[in-house]
Amino acid sequence: MIFSRLEASVKADEGLKLSPYLDIEKVWTIGYGSTFIGGAPVTEKTLPISEAFALQLLRAELFDSCLEAQRFFPDLMELTDLRQEILAEMAYQLGLDGLSQFVHFRERLTAHDWQGAANHMRASKWHDETPDRVERLATLMAAG
């Protein structure tokens, strides 16, 4: 996994907002898509943060997402760096609970059926919510 590439991808997909905002799921969010600060949920009353603090939050959450991707797919390290990053980005956006719903996707990963895995990414509610992001990640999953 190339952490700097993962970070750049998430930054591009999430964008940066230093004040609280409601995301597409109507959840209060700040920075690069963070919904918690120090274990407390972001609310409309959360004070604005600096760009440096947003980056610290992002990096901590990406580290957690890498661990969640490993929990979801124990053979993560056998995948290419790019596919590892895709799973970590999925964990970042969806959380482990959301990622765990991709049972058939995980089966396709186990079978090394990259196109099948990409198809399962596209045939999801996640795709309906963030189609450009999912299309890009699914194309990369299929290509490797």
- CA 35 to CA 21: how far, in whole Å? 10
Q: How far is CA 99 from the centre of its chain?
A: 9
> What single-letter amino acid sits at 35?
T
Give the tens place of pLDDT for each residue, 82-123: 999 999 999 999 999 999 999 999 999 999 999 999 999 999
Question: Which among 83, 97, 75, 68 has a CA at the least distance from the CA of 9?
Answer: 83
Domain count, the chain: 1
How far from 51 is each of 13, 30, 33, 63, CA to CA, in Å? 16, 11, 13, 18
pLDDT of residue 24: 83
CA 143 to chain CA centroid, Å, is: 19
What is this structure's pTM? 0.90
Please tell me the predicted confidence (pLDDT) of residue 46: 94
Q: Report pLDDT digits (tens) over 18-67.
A: 999 998 889 999 999 999 998 899 999 999 999 999 999 999 999 999 99
Q: Supply the mean pLDDT for the chain.
A: 94
Containing structural domain, residue 48? 3-143
Domain of 137, CATH number, reads 1.10.530.40
